[in-house]
Amino acid sequence: MDDPLPQRCLLCGATAGIRRDGQWHCAVCDWRVGDAPDPDLPPPRVDVVYYLRWRERIKIGTSHRPRQRLAAILHEELLAFEPGDRALEQRRHREFADLREGGEWFTADPRLLAHIAAVAGGIPPWDAYARWVADAYRR
Ligand SMILES: [Zn+2]
């Protein structure tokens, strides 16, 4: 059960939270409300493999700055993020090599779509990303 937070989450900007152990936690990324990330530390690096749809094609790529990266790629829909870097991206490219149309673009075949649905796990991609960033801050 999510309730309105007394203040926006400082990490992801969400406005809903969960009260746990006498503390408010962000409903999206689970950051403890009121905690500020250490301003002396650089933001943690979180590498993701992204799945972007443009018409009947899907681009499988990787970035550690997905907001900037995705803004530069023409697409209709972000389908999922998967935590991982270049090595995982290369593995996915090999796994779906038979669907490759060129570059990092693949045919939106049911096998690829099933993989993406499993990766997404029903969680909106940016919510999942916010959670990984919060986890990285906590480490
Ligand atoms: Zn949050």
pLDDT of the chain, 139 residues: tens digit per residue: 688 998 899 899 999 999 998 999 999 999 998 888 888 888 899 999 999 999 999 999 999 999 999 999 999 999 999 999 999 999 999 999 999 999 999 999 999 999 999 999 999 999 999 999 999 998 8
Q: Ligand 1 centre from 117 Cα, in Å? A: 23
Q: Ligand 1 centre from 20 Cα, in Å? A: 15
Q: Ligand 1 centre from 38 Cα, in Å? A: 16
**104: DSSP letter:** T
* Cα-based angle 24, 26, 28 (whole degrees, multiple of 5): 160
* Cα-based angle 95, 71, 8 (whole degrees, multiple of 5): 105
Residue environment code for 3-14, b if the CB has 16+ CB neighbours within 10 A, otherwise e: eebeeebebbeb
Q: What is the pLDDT of residue 123?
A: 95
Q: Ligand 1 centre from 25 Cα, in Å? A: 8
What is the layout of strands, in order, in the sheet containing 100-102? 77-83, 48-54, 57-63, 105-107, 100-102
Q: What is the pLDDT of residue 47?
A: 98
For the whole model, what pTM was predicted? 0.90
Q: Ligand 1 centre from 102 Cα, in Å? A: 37
